[in-house]
Amino acid sequence: MNPAGPGTWRRVADWIDDRTGFRKIRDFIYDEPLPPGTGWWFTLGSVLLFGLGLQTVTGVALALYYAPTPDHAWDSIRFITTAVRAGAFLRGLHHWGASLIVIVAVLHLVRVVAFGSYRKPRELNWVVGVLLLLVILAFGLTGYLLPWDQRAYWATVVTINVSKLTPVAGEWVAALLRGGSDIGALTLTRWYATHVLVLPVILAVLVAFHLYLLRRHGISGPIPVGSTGSRGSTGSTGSRSSASSVREPVEPGEPVELVEPVEPEVFFPHQAARDVTMSIVAGIALAVLAWKGAPALTPPADPSSSDYVPRPEWYYSGLFQLLKYFPGRLEVIGALVVPGIAVTALLLLPWLDRAANRTVRSRRVLLSGFGAALATVIVLTILGTLDRPADAGDRWNVRELAGVTLMTSGDRCRKCHIAGGIAPALEAGRITGTQTWLANHVADPEVVGPGVREAPAVDEQDLAAMLAALAHLRSTAPPALDPSSQALMTLVNRQCLKCHRIDGVGGTQGPDLSHAGRKLDAPTIARRIANPKAVKADSEMTAFADKMSPQEIQTIADWLALKK
């Protein structure tokens, strides 16, 4: 390597080299001997290093804004995505970066198995690699909780319940993961500390050891061409001598392709260029995915809402799927026994391999077994990923729309709840009070701010509508409505929903009107609203002719007639 640099630069470099010996280290990295045929397949490890570096950088940047407390975790993530410059992109990179690492790590593992690189003398490095894969998965698991939204919370509830299946010490393990008697503040800080302090240290140590062992034994290289009798590299000499001796010994008497003697190949610059190219490809793919950010936050974690159906991140969906095949008391088999056997088998792979050499032919049985296991994991992962809860969508129902209208029209709420006002603006995600508190606040503002407002002149139905709207506002913004629809929604809420059910909300004394238009046309409906007994003598419904104007009745009838 030429020390380069004119005059001064060179003298500075010489001085630093004299004091540190950095050129020796640089040359050690540059001149890593490579067996012939080392090519694109051997870039996966470097892409992984790139991915881990990227996660470190983006993780540190996220930590500048993240607050690991139930009070503020969700808000801080929302702040990152909406208010921090490039924040949504940053979170996208970190989110998709995790998926990239899992994919590349598995590809790396498959490459090592396919090429038999785990064989003597590299058994220990294989073990370190499997441990690294587990650390990566632990990163994914702990990171999943941090946004503290419904998805994070309920997925973690499942994780911790699964940990209870541990034989003998189940409750203890679950308590260790929880930190307290329930999943809450103590769990969040614990998982955060693990994610940003404990795991990175373990990762760094294991990666360093992985690379040290890599240099000690050298890259295995591809399966030697024309060899059927190689017993795998037998010593630790490979990396220290020229490429010709890295070439695996060949059984005497076997036909060998004659290869021209070539200059020993080293890491820099050819393999380095391949590594960098692949890292850039991975980086571009990530940037494209991250451009739209990470998946949107679900509503803030709410331990009291038990109707949320949690789903794990895709790389855990295989395990999730596996659990379904072992119901009841057999659950422990799916949760711990099968994964435990799989990990143990993986760790012991170098010793399970009794083949004479690393050619595919002599490792047929082992490779078929591995392939079958891998295919199973992939199929389970796909099945698990496909099993998404039925998307309830995010439609605002009549009552919620009425509530939004009531809150945003006039100055009932907006006297205080406006941007720059003395109370937070009515904006999606900003509503953080409990249901009880909100109910008190809406029904009687004196509870919160004496003298702020006159006594509420709202009826029961209006109150229910505002509470429903506040609940929905926790997560999403309401759709914009034109004034006539707004009037219609408040009218329907006030007059119809007390007795009738429409689209899942309302009373049950009268018939469900969700599909009123299937049986009746608009004029009939209008007549039945105005004077029910005139249409149906035994009707118990109140007549609305004197409670609403004919125009109002007509609007409601037209709307109901459209509900097929």
Residue numbers at the binding site for another protein (CB under 8 A): 50, 54, 57-58, 60-61, 64-65, 67, 72, 75-76, 78-79, 83-87, 89-90, 93, 268-270, 272-273, 276-277, 279-280, 283, 420-424
Residue-level length of the chain: 564
The residues near 146 (Cβ < 8 Å, ≥ 6 apart) are 66, 68, 73, 77, 152, 188, 191, 192, 195
Number of CB atoms found within 10 A of residue 439's CB? 17
Nearest residue (CB) to another protein, 33 versus 121: 33
Nearest residue (CB) to another protein, 205 versus 280: 280
Q: How far is the CB of 162 from another protein (least distance, A)?
A: 32
Nearest residue (CB) to another protein, 50 versus 370: 50
Query: What are the two backbone dihedrals, phi and then psi, of residue 375, each rounded to the nearest 5 degrees?
Result: -60, -40
Q: How far is the CB of 283 from another protein (least distance, A)?
A: 6
The residues near 268 (Cβ < 8 Å, ≥ 6 apart) are 29, 30, 31, 32
Q: How far is the CB of 57 from another protein (least distance, A)?
A: 5
Nearest residue (CB) to another protein, 46 versus 405: 46
Nearest residue (CB) to another protein, 280 versus 375: 280
Nearest residue (CB) to another protein, 276 versus 337: 276
Q: How far is the CB of 72 from another protein (least distance, A)?
A: 6
Nearest residue (CB) to another protein, 68 versus 532: 68
Decide if 95 contacts 290 (C-beta within 8 A): yes
Please choose, from the candidates 516, 301, 297, the residue with its C-alpha nearest in 3D space to the C-alpha of residue 394. Answer: 297
**542: exposed, middle or buried (C-beta count within 10 Å: 0-12, 13-18, 19+)?**
middle
Q: How far is the CB of 80 from another protein (least distance, A)?
A: 8
- Residue type, position 246, single letter: V
Nearest residue (CB) to another protein, 275 versus 462: 275
- In order, the DSSP letters of 10-41 are HHHHHHHHHHH-HHHHHHHHHT-EE-TT--GG
Nearest residue (CB) to another protein, 75 versus 331: 75
Q: Which long-range contacts (CB under 8 A, 24 or more apart) does 175-184 make?
A: 182/303, 183/153, 183/156, 183/157, 183/303, 184/70, 184/303
3-state secondary structure of 61: helix
Instruction: State the Cα–Cα distance between residues 251 and 238, nearest whole angstrom.
Output: 18
Q: How far is the CB of 51 from another protein (least distance, A)?
A: 12
Please choose, from the candidates 19, 70, 467, 105, the residue with its C-alpha nearest in 3D space to the C-alpha of residue 300. Answer: 70
User: Which residue carries 């929302």 as its tokens?
Assistant: 78
Instruction: State the Cα–Cα distance between residues 315 and 98, nearest whole angstrom.
Output: 10
Q: How far is the CB of 148 from another protein (least distance, A)?
A: 12
Q: How far is the CB of 462 from another protein (least distance, A)?
A: 27
Nearest residue (CB) to another protein, 73 versus 497: 73
Instruction: State the Cα–Cα distance between residues 250 and 224, nearest whole angstrom.
Output: 9
Decide if 26 contacts 36 (C-beta within 8 A): no
Instruction: State the Cα–Cα distance between residues 328 and 339, nearest whole angstrom.
Output: 18
Nearest residue (CB) to another protein, 281 versus 372: 281
Q: How far is the CB of 263 from another protein (least distance, A)?
A: 9
Nearest residue (CB) to another protein, 269 versus 511: 269
- Residue type, position 404, single letter: V
Nearest residue (CB) to another protein, 393 versus 420: 420
Cα maximum dimension of the chain: 108
Q: How far is CA 270 from CA 277, 280, 284, 295, in A?
A: 11, 15, 21, 38
- Kind of pairing, strands 501-502 and 33-34? unpaired
Instruction: State the Cα–Cα distance between residues 352 and 345, nearest whole angstrom.
Output: 8
Q: How far is the CB of 270 from another protein (least distance, A)?
A: 7
Q: How far is CA 319 from CA 43, 166, 174, 330, in A?
A: 29, 15, 18, 14
Q: How far is the CB of 33 from another protein (least distance, A)?
A: 16
Nearest residue (CB) to another protein, 42 versus 50: 50
| Dihedral angle sign, alpha carbons of residues 168, 173, 178, 181 | positive
Q: How far is the CB of 407 from another protein (least distance, A)?
A: 19
Q: How far is the CB of 69 from another protein (least distance, A)?
A: 11
Q: How far is the CB of 101 from another protein (least distance, A)?
A: 16
